[in-house]
Amino acid sequence: MRIGLDYRPALQNREGIGRYARELVRGFVELGLDSELGLFGYTLAAMRFSREELGLARSKAELLRLRLPSKWLPGLLRTLGKGVDDLVGGADVYHHTQPNVLPVRRAAEVATIFDCIFMLPDSGYLDADVAERMTAAAREQVRRAKRILVPSQYVGAEVVMALGAHPARVAVTELGCDHIARSLPPEGFGRAREPYVLTVARVDPRKNHLRMLRAFELLVREGLPQRWIVAGPRGHAWEEFATALERSPAKARVQWIVDAPEAELPRLYAQADCFLFASLNEGFGLPPLEAMACGAPVVSSCVTSLPEVCGDAAFLVEPTDVERIFEATRRVLVEPELAAELRARGRAQARKFTWRECAKHTLLAYRKALEPQTESPKLRHTL
């Protein structure tokens, strides 16, 4: 089975979809499927990762690089009468890994939808034009793809109810977090020079940094010694957090690392007294699992996919309640027994999520996509 895969995010994005594309392919390579992989990496910008960093240095996976703007590609393919599956060697299955659907001529199509956040009206999470474009792409993916991959059962339900995908075409392929273990030294990192609470997340309204800042101010007022380290780039409407931070009475105790080196994240996770992730909406939620894998006790949200992913290994709170966020974080910081229990549960929970398993379940979905389908399933809504 020849597998074509949209690999562009892996070459450019350090987080989110980029992590998914890189580690999924790494999982395929571990399974010995590298000779069947045709990776399509069309970007005008240069690669941000070497083949060694991508895990492709000694593999047989073929990486096709086209240095041209992505918006040119659909028209170019139509003009040539080709599909992207032709460009990667005549793929049997082509996997769309991002909300940007390219023309496919013959291959069975598979698409990953990470969340349906773009369909939330008046959420303020995205620019309206971006949300409209992503919604249109997701609808097109659901229309064309033989299998829709989702990272959690929560997103699976959203894809069925919001986008009309038939449940039989939806497959849950949970993400992995074992990539973080590759950077953990056997001897550990030791204790940090100063105690801190850590949040790793792109700064935008959905990640809820404003309420976490208010909760941290209460921790400072309580007399706790921790700093708050925020590691994450600027996202949509990041200015709101920047303004609030500048006016905060606790601003001297907050460090915002806008461009945290990936190699530094394992140490930041491992040395944190508490990992705080009170996000308002997640399709999966990888940072809490990464923190668990590194041994940090986690406080996270009780909404969307996070209870499914974190299980009983995190202290779950209502993310719109600043007092609850404060109290949960305070307890983790002042109760050593609670912190130790969360660390132990977290390590066990993190071990359940590997990219090799993600690759195995994705491969099963590819095979299902190639099975003959006599009739298109239709979803009927009833009261």
- 263-273 pLDDT per residue, tens: 899 999 999 99
Partners of 27 in beta bridges: none
Pair type for strands 315-317 and 298-301: parallel
Q: What is the DSSP string of 110-139?
A: EEE----GGGSTT-SSS-HHHHHHHHHHHH
Structure token pair of residue 336: 């050593």
**Distance (Å, rounded) from C-alpha 351 to C-alpha 174?**
13
Task: For residue 78, count CB atoms less than 10 angstroms from its CB and return exposed for 0-12, middle for 13-18, buried for 19 or more.
Answer: exposed
> What confidence score (pLDDT) does residue 121 get?
78
Q: Which CATH number is correct for 3-176+355-370, 3.40.50.300, 3.30.830.10, 3.40.50.2000, 3.90.550.10?
A: 3.40.50.2000
Percent of the chain with pLDDT over 70: 97
Least reliable range by pLDDT among 69-73, 195-199, 202-206, 247-251: 69-73
Helix axes 286-293, 336-350, angle to 10 degrees: 110
Place of tokens 């850590």: 198
Query: Does the domain spanning 179-350 belong to CATH 3.40.50.2000?
Result: yes
Q: Give whichever of 18-22, 41-45, 183-187 has the largest mean pLDDT.
A: 18-22
DSSP letter assigned to residue 249: T
**Distance (Å, rounded) from C-alpha 87 to C-alpha 85?**
5
Identity of the amino acid at 77: L
For residue 113, give every residue at least 6 positions away whose Cβ sits within 8 Å of its Cβ, in sequence order, or none. 99, 138, 141, 142, 148, 149, 150, 155, 159, 163
What are the residue boundaries of the structural domains of the chain, listed by start? 3-176+355-370, 179-350
Helix axes 336-350, 322-334, angle to 10 degrees: 100
**Distance (Å, rounded) from C-alpha 51 to C-alpha 248?**
43
> What confidence score (pLDDT) does residue 383 get?
40
Identity of the amino acid at 244: A
Q: What is the pTM of this model?
A: 0.93
Longest CA span, the chain: 68
pLDDT band, residue 382 (cuts 50/70/90): very low
Q: In what order do the strands lie in the sheet with 274-277?
A: 254-257, 227-231, 196-200, 274-277, 298-301, 315-317
> What confidence score (pLDDT) does residue 45 get?
77
pLDDT tens for residues 267-312? 999 999 999 999 999 999 999 999 999 999 999 999 999 999 999 9
CA distances from 155 to 78, 123, 284 (A): 32, 17, 8
- Asked if residue 198 has pLDDT above 90, the reply is yes
Average pLDDT, the chain: 92
**Distance (Å, rounded) from C-alpha 146 to C-alpha 371?**
9
Percent of the chain with pLDDT over 90: 76
